[in-house]
Amino acid sequence: MAAADKPDLELAARFPDLHPPFDHQSALTEANRCLYCFDAPCTAACPTHIDVPRFIKKIAQGNLRGSALTILDANILGASCSRVCPVDVLCEGSCVYHHFNKQPIEIGRLQRHAMDAFLHDGAQLPKNSVADRPGKVACIGAGPASLACAARLRQQGFSVTLFERRPLPGGLNTYGVAEYKLRASDSLREIEMIRGLGVEFRFGEEISPAKLVRLERDYDFIFLGVGLGAMHKLGIPGEDHPAVMNALEFIERYKTGAAANVGRRVVVIGAGNTAIDAARAAIRLGADNVQILYRRGKEHISAFTFEYDQAREEGVEFRWWTRPVAIHTYGATIATIECVSSEPVGFTANADLLAAPGPTTSQSLRIPCDLAIPAIGQSPLVAFLESCRGVGVEHGRVQIDRATGQTTNPKYFAGGDCVNGGREVVDAVADGKRSAVALARILEAAHA
Ligand code: SF4
């Protein structure tokens, strides 16, 4: 991703914005629709509690910088969140206009409008404390949780160093979000603003147990924002063939121009939001037929309903109750994916499949395919987490104090996907902010 700080024009043409930016007049018109509700439900619905009516009012008053600063005060990744947040189920989903059967305020696009103007002007983030203060924190990982933690601490004058094993910061924001939602160049532009605070980044840093011991010695606290590990394997014959590429690898490769040729027929296995992102990308890359296979029914998918609806509208086909059992290959290509389709007879959405599986109709089928994209979730970084001595981990998730993010080892705090198992960018930002607030309080008291 060598030139990731610059937009790729060909990629941009294939992946136009899902929610195009407002022009100035449209933003003003939309901002003036807002009722500026007292106890605004949109603010309550935002995990970072952005003061939505306040930032919208500032747009209506023509104060875009003030609007952006209101957003950034609550959410340091306000620019990327304006693009990737599932606003339909968060702020916009709670807008009072729904009660009047009217279109909710387009909060995400208004947020983007303010943030784009701020970043375009090269504006700097405010530092709440001009003087540097004693207190050093190491953040492991440079994804949204660590970035939010680091920025907030740095704004308070504390020293923060991010250790990242990859060559670029941003985690999934840079490497794993569908291009029609967030470009790598936009993710990196936002992070430059955080770097401008004086946050130190160290790339290519794998954290071994020996290095962890050194970090424990050299820093007052360690924040774990390591996310999740590799994607789960299917565990079926043929999945190591080169024409089988997991969804995160596929998204990263097409974002760098390395996987532009997807063939005519693409099969995605899994029905979460990442699976849908991969399927919709395959259509934009020229596939004629894109199918999603899911081992259970429509009622059980983890993807948001609006993502599913949009994928259907774009032509993605769904095969429910269908489980791959082998990938048959022929030289450099896939021939077919062999599947078993077993739909429960008389199944209803409320039935408990595990408690009462009931009879099924079962058939075997072979689906022709040029590219197979498994997307069945990521595994936790168990080995690494276990090397963090005294940090409690249950079912692959770091155990924390919900009020502070502190782990069972008081030297360590944690947030983001390694705690919640994989949620939204905005949840990771909220976690990082929570820990930064707690850490600043502890550091202040320690050095008073
Ligand atoms: Fe504006 Fe809707 Fe939020 Fe009310 S709920 S403040 S109308 S965006």
Query: 323 and 441 in one domain?
Result: no
Query: 370 and 384 in one domain?
Result: no
Per-residue pLDDT of the chain (448 residues; tens, 9 = 90+): 544 555 567 777 778 888 889 999 999 999 999 999 999 999 999 999 999 999 999 999 999 999 999 999 999 999 999 999 999 999 999 999 999 999 999 999 999 999 999 999 888 887 766 688 999 999 999 999 999 999 999 999 999 999 999 999 999 999 999 888 999 999 999 999 999 999 999 999 999 999 999 999 999 999 999 999 999 999 999 999 999 999 999 999 988 777 667 889 999 999 999 999 999 999 999 999 999 999 999 999 999 999 999 999 999 999 999 999 999 999 889 999 999 998 776 655 444 444 445 667 788 999 999 999 999 999 999 999 999 999 999 999 999 999 999 999 999 999 999 999 999 999 999 999 999 999 999 999 988 7
Q: Is residue 2 part of a domain?
A: no
Alpha helices in 75-225 (DSSP H): 78-84, 107-120, 144-155, 172-175, 184-195, 209-218
Q: Using CA positions, which residue lies closest to atom 5 of ligand 1? A: 95
Query: 408 and 331 in one domain?
Result: no
Alpha helices in 388-422 (DSSP H): 417-420
CATH number at residue 292: 3.50.50.60
Query: 271 and 225 in one domain?
Result: no
Query: 308 and 195 in one domain?
Result: no
- Specify the number of domains making up the chain: 3
Strand partners, 224: 140, 414
Q: Which domain holds residue 219?
A: 136-229+380-446
Q: Using CA positions, which residue lies closest to atom 1 of ligand 1? A: 34
pLDDT of residue 352: 47
**How many residues are listed for the chain in this entry?**
448
Query: 368 and 258 in one domain?
Result: yes
Cα 54 to averaged position of ligand 1 atoms, centre (Å): 10
| Max CA separation in the chain (angstroms) | 71
Q: Kindly state if the Cβ of 81 falls inside 6 Å of ligand 1.
A: no
Residues 153 and 439: beta-carbon distance below 8 Å:
yes
Which residue, among 418, 426, 421, has the nearest Cα to 90 in the 3D structure? Answer: 426
Query: 434 and 337 in one domain?
Result: no
pLDDT of residue 354: 47
Cα 111 to averaged position of ligand 1 atoms, centre (Å): 13
Q: Is residue 154 part of a domain?
A: yes
- Which of 96, 120, 144 is the last residue in one of the domains? 120
Q: Is residue 125 part of a domain?
A: no
Q: Using CA positions, which residue lies closest to atom 2 of ligand 1? A: 95
Q: Is residue 131 part of a domain?
A: no
Q: Where are the beta strands (DSSP E) in 275-431?
A: 289-293, 317-319, 322-330, 333-344, 360-368, 371-374, 393-394, 397-398, 412-414
Q: Is residue 6 part of a domain?
A: no
Query: 174 and 159 in one domain?
Result: yes
DSSP strand pairing (159-164 vs 200-203): parallel
**Predicted structure pTM score:** 0.91
Q: Return the amino acid letter for 193.
A: M
Q: Where are the beta strands (DSSP E) in 211-270?
A: 221-224, 265-269
Query: 197 and 85 in one domain?
Result: no
Q: Kindly state if the Cβ of 46 falls inside 6 Å of ligand 1.
A: no
Q: Is residue 439 part of a domain?
A: yes
Which residue, among 189, 205, 202, 213, has the nearest Cα to 78 in the 3D structure? Answer: 189
Strand partners, 366: 338
Q: Kindly state if the Cβ of 60 falls inside 6 Å of ligand 1.
A: no
Q: Is residue 159 part of a domain?
A: yes
Query: 387 and 337 in one domain?
Result: no
- Which of 65, 90, 120 is the last residue in one of the domains? 120
Query: 386 and 267 in one domain?
Result: no
CA of 43, closest atom in ligand 1: 3
Q: Is residue 194 part of a domain?
A: yes
pLDDT of residue 125: 84
Half-sphere exposure of 53 (CA within 13 A, CB side): 14
- Which of 53, 88, 120 is the last residue in one of the domains? 120
